[in-house]
Structure 1
Amino acid sequence: MKKKTLVPLIVFLLGMCLVGLIVYKTDAIEKEQKRTTAQLNATTYGERIKNEITNGIEITDTLQQILISENGEINYFDTISKNIMSDSIESIQLAPNGVVTDIYPAEGNEAGKIDLLHDKDRGEISCYARDNHTLITQGPFELKQGGYGIAVRNPVYLNDKNGQEYFWGFTIVILRVPDIFSDSINALSDFSYKYKLSKTSSPWSDTYEVVYQSDGTLTNPVSYDFTIGEENWKFEVMPENGWGNTALIAIIIGFFTSIILILSVLIWVWLTSKENKNRFQKLAHMDSLTNIYNRYGFDELAEEMIAKNPNAHYVVALFDIDDFKFINDIYGHVYGDRALKNLADSMKISFPSDALLGRNGGDEFCILLPNRTYDDAKEQLQQFTMLPKIFSYKGNDYPFYISLGYAEYPTAASNRAQLMRCADAALYEVKLHGKNGCMAYKEGLQSGVRKQLGFALKDISEHLPGAFIIYRADKENDELFYANHEFLHMAGYKDIDELFKLTKKSFRNLIREDEQQQIEASIWQQIDNGNENDYIYFHLRKADGTYLSVLDHGRIVENQQYGRVFYVLFMDWADMHIRYSDKFSE
């Protein structure tokens, strides 16, 4: 994975881990704070609920004191009950010997007059209260008048004439739920808390039953425990929205994730910019076609290498492709580029990794070999020059050749620029001596600006005084390579592409069908007899399908790239006949 992608990703992942840690710590602190606050509320309001229930129980204590003071009698029960009655009290009862005889208010409560000690639902717990001298609560249960209630039964004991204690009965109050502790639960609701009030089902049981609770399930609530009589009560509390602060956590996640994303993007932009800068710097120094240094890059690095170790020996070689213009003219620039790329690839294979390889431009290349002398580099450069070099064209391989000159620092030159001029002078000398060779610089070679050597094929062919073509000298494969403008004009072809298309690049297809075998046999007979000066007469096929009477004069030439080829000039037979008949008639 690229650095510009990997680094921002690592930053993002580490950042998200940090966000996770911050969220975890924040959530833990928030939960702890909420639990502390909730515990404080549970304690405060649990104690208030206990007091509110105890206030209801005190009614039974008041009646108990009256019974004790009146020796088991209560006169004016209704009047007394009315005075101590409240909205949260459903009824006040007396149960001498465990049998309910008096109820206030009486209306609607007639069914409450029961024998508590022998009642199937109330007997066991009532007997326990009697036998253990303890106040008991029972419920909640559904009231016939509607709603729910809790029965508080307070056992009363008196002394007889002999001073012996005996069980008188119960003073009873029925508390309305949740009216008895409505102030506390309303306050908790206002503070957005859920709650649940529970009590043990009996003094001897550890099982809790719910007295009253808010809507919804409580998750991991805090609690406050208290005791009334011998029964345990539990008041549980938790925030309505849970222990976590979802809004705060969302804000933290959003805020820090945004920062991390921005930071990651900025790092990616910076790395991308840095990578692009390095790439552009590299592109400024590299040749895009051959992927070796261009002239600017080569000159800069060569200067640095020599300056870094000026006492070392260096050899610079300059070389180019012989007749490269011919390759471009015949095969096109695409195949010329292939030849250049193949040459650069052979450089990479032929020279060690410490060699500096460059392309000066066009078909000219250069090599700097550090820590080399003439003797060290001679064999390697000669082998490279003679190494077969080819490019492919339509399934066939075609060879090409190079000329190379080289010079040594500091033997021949005192600086890089002078060293390059000396190598160029040696290359010029190779060109003057027939090309396809390798030569070291020596004193006396011209080191000035190299002159143009020879002439380009197109310059020559387009100005020949006649129509001109080149084709392969092969009996089986007479491939057309080139035709100048005058030939195309004479034969009616608009350009060389149309010529190649209509003739299928075969010279044979320029000859009238009925003359092909005879003309080809005549051409090769002349060649085999060593006679290259005879003319051949035949009918040349024009672009429009008509024929033109022509004389051709050809010569076989050995070419380094294509082997034996024919160079052929054409003359219009009718035009020659007219012109020369006029001259002879004079």
Structure 2
Amino acid sequence: MKKKVLVPLIVFLLGICFVGFIVYKTDIHEKEQRHTTAQLNASTYGERIKNEITHGIGITDTLKQVLISENGKFNQFDTIAKNLMSDSIESVQLAPDGVVTDIYPISGNEAGKIDLIHDKNRGKISRYARDNHTIITQGPFELKQSGYGVAVRNPVYLKDENGQEYFWGFTIVILHVPDIFSDTLNALSNFGYEYRLSKTDAPWSDTYKVVYQSDRQLTHPVSYKFTIGEENWRFEVTPKSGWENNTLIAEVGVIFAAIVILLSVLTRVWLVSKEHKNKFKILAHTDSLTDIYNRYGFDELAVKMIDKNPKSHFVAALLDIDDFKSINDIYGHAYGDNALKSLADNMKAFFPPDTLLGRNGGDEFCILLPNYTCEEAEELLQQFTRLPKTFSYMGKEYPFHISLGYAEYPTFASNRSQLMRCADTALYEIKLHGKNGCMAYRAGLSSGVRKQLGFALKDISEHLPGAFIIYRADKEDDELFYANHEFLHMTGYKNIDELFRLTKKSFRNLIREDEQKQIESSIWEQIDNGNENDYIHFHLRKADGTYLSVLDHGRIVESQQYGRVFYVLFMDWEDMHIHYSDKFSE
């Protein structure tokens, strides 16, 4: 129960940590991407703004070149200035000796005719431009006409008759803010950015003054700096939606959280399913009455144990309760079950922990002792057989006894099924000798027992007409179980032991060698196609090594003890031809 809750909880907590990590990394990556993109846009659009301001400065350079070429005279100023005008230019001016004398257009700009060198607000920066031969920009300042402007003053120097340079004055252009860079700012705004354009108050100052900015405040903006003349400009941008992509983060968080929840649920389902599967597997392998392995579970584990340690010794034992039918008849099946449970409990308490215990069915039980020989297991099994065993009935304890037969692997068997058959033979030998005992398998037990027990082979086959054998219906293990007297007489074997010895107890070895593959294939092809009653013609090996041409007729029978077996009737091929030829000749 704890595992079914704890493991999914751990998966969920680890998953949430993983989701947090993914969200964190996504957030960092998104911020980096946005910073990179914003920096690229700041550089690109900042450079465009610089070029647009530089274009305004170019107007002052044009005026400057006219003055230089005309040696300080400027004819047709209005005409030239008019041609230089654009929507982003507020006015064009000339200021000889720093005093503004010419303005285009004059309408609305009359107040601009001032002495720049000595003006309270413009004097210091104008003198700096004059003395340092540098272009200066000043502003923004409010225009009387509306909006804001930035003044660009370009100092002009000429030479006198002696070739000495002297300050002529300024060529000036008033740029209309933000018209001068409106296209750039509109494009940037459409891309989803807030912006701010600033410049230093003066060439000697580090304090920035905002030239123009968008409506909202900027949060942790990226910037691009450029220089015009000796003044520093700074263009800053930040995404309107901020540096975090909250929608993406939410989507990533929800998706991965859903995956984590799904994994947690699936883990829970898997654990519950596994638990149920284990329970069902245990139920499928366990005898519900005695709580030890059933026949299927015992056989499966016995095969695994032997296959895993093929060179080790194992002892297998089969046992049953003597006269168990009488217990059921006298006391009732409930008390018979009581005896079975008592026997199973005795087995679990008596044998070592690594012993494999099982119930074959009915009152028959099986034991597999790993790393034992028959000699080493003899005393242990004898003790268990003699151990007092009882069951309760009406408040009293009633004794019962068992018979036990055992055999050793690999001394008498090459696999589990053969080992259990040997133990079974030893068990029935005990039954023939009075029950309530324990016996090890030994060579020579099989034939006598097989004629009297198991399938009741002798009783059945001796009353069947013709030569008969019985063998295991298994492609890989076709073990001979029995042959009747007529078969032994027909094939010349002295007895069944000689038959078993010369054929190595294999039906395959009764078929002439060159026919073996064909005959076996033909038999199993008929079986697989559901035709169990067809006849097969082949040459049967006799005791002297010669072969007899026979016709066999087989039928598969299911046995609780041995599984599928063949009952096979043999007829002498030549005798049949002679017999039926005589019949037809009549």
Partner of 2:405: 407
Correspondence 1:233 to 2:237: no
State the Cα deviation string for residues 136-194 of structure 1 (Å, max 9, x = none): 00122333333222111122334556655443433321101221123333444455565
Is the partner of 2:347 in helix, strand or coil?
helix
In the TM superposition, residue 87 of structure 1 has moved relative to its aligned partner by: 1.0
Partner of 1:348: 348
Range with greater deviation from structure 2 (247-256 or 372-381): 247-256
**5 Å matches for 1:8-47?**
31=33, 35=36, 39=40, 45-47=45-47
State the Cα deviation string for residues 87-117 of structure 1 (Å, max 9, x = none): 1111233334434444433443344444433
Partner of 1:482: none
Contact 1:35 1:243 in 2 (8 A): no
Partner of 1:318: 319
Aligned CA distance change for structure 1 residues 65 and 306 (closer, same or farther; 3 Å)? closer
Counterpart among 419, 425, 437 of residue 423 in structure 2: 419
Contact 1:302 1:416 in 2 (8 A): no
Correspondence 1:152 to 2:123: no
Aligned CA distance change for structure 1 residues 328 and 352 (closer, same or farther; 3 Å)? farther
Range with greater deviation from structure 2 (412-421 or 242-251): 242-251
2:319 counterpart letter in structure 1: L
Aligned CA distance change for structure 1 residues 257 and 430 (closer, same or farther; 3 Å)? farther
In the TM superposition, residue 119 of structure 1 has moved relative to its aligned partner by: 3.9
Contact 1:285 1:293 in 2 (8 A): yes
State the Cα deviation string for residues 473-531 of structure 1 (Å, max 9, x = none): xxxxxxxxxxxxxxxxxxxxxxxxxxxxxxxxxxxxxxxxxxxxxxxxxxxxxxxxxxx
- TM-score between the two structures when normalised by the length of structure 2: 0.55
Is the partner of 2:401 in helix, strand or coil?
strand
Partner of 2:141: 141
Range with greater deviation from structure 2 (227-236 or 276-285): 276-285
**5 Å matches for 1:283-294?**
283-294=283-294
In the TM superposition, residue 386 of structure 1 has moved relative to its aligned partner by: 3.3
2:175 counterpart letter in structure 1: L
5+ residue gaps, structure 2: 457-586
5+ residue gaps, structure 1: 432-436, 452-586
Give the Cα–Cα distance (whole angstroms) in 2 for the partners of residues 318 and 275 of structure 1: 33
State the Cα deviation string for residues 365-420 of structure 1 (Å, max 9, x = none): 33233524367333555357636778899xxx975654222123269998523522
- TM-score between the two structures when normalised by the length of structure 1: 0.55
State the Cα deviation string for residues 191-233 of structure 1 (Å, max 9, x = none): 556554433332123444443345563756473x443211233
Is the partner of 1:154 in helix, strand or coil?
strand
Partner of 1:455: none
Partner of 1:530: none
Give the Cα–Cα distance (whole angstroms) in 1 for the partners of residues 84 and 33 of structure 2: 45
Range with greater deviation from structure 2 (401-410 or 259-268): 259-268
Give the Cα–Cα distance (whole angstroms) in 1 for the partners of residues 154 and 305 of structure 2: 110
Size of the aligned set, in residue pairs, is 431
Give the Cα–Cα distance (whole angstroms) in 2 for the partners of residues 284 and 316 of structure 1: 22
Is the partner of 1:205 in helix, strand or coil?
coil
Q: Which has the larger Rg?
A: 1
1:154 counterpart letter in structure 2: N
Correspondence 1:57 to 2:61: no
Identity of aligned residues (%): 54
2:180 counterpart letter in structure 1: I
Aligned CA distance change for structure 1 residues 317 and 157 (closer, same or farther; 3 Å)? same
Partner of 1:211: 211
**5 Å matches for 1:484-499?**
none
Aligned CA distance change for structure 1 residues 330 and 98 (closer, same or farther; 3 Å)? farther
Aligned CA distance change for structure 1 residues 300 and 401 (closer, same or farther; 3 Å)? farther
Give the Cα–Cα distance (whole angstroms) in 2 for the partners of residues 151 and 385 of structure 1: 123
2:421 counterpart letter in structure 1: A
Aligned CA distance change for structure 1 residues 155 and 375 (closer, same or farther; 3 Å)? closer
Aligned CA distance change for structure 1 residues 210 and 406 (closer, same or farther; 3 Å)? same
Is the partner of 2:117 in helix, strand or coil?
helix
Is the partner of 1:116 in helix, strand or coil?
coil
Give the Cα–Cα distance (whole angstroms) in 1 for the partners of residues 127 and 396 of structure 2: 122
Give the Cα–Cα distance (whole angstroms) in 2 for the partners of residues 148 and 271 of structure 1: 74
* Cα RMSD (Å): 5.8
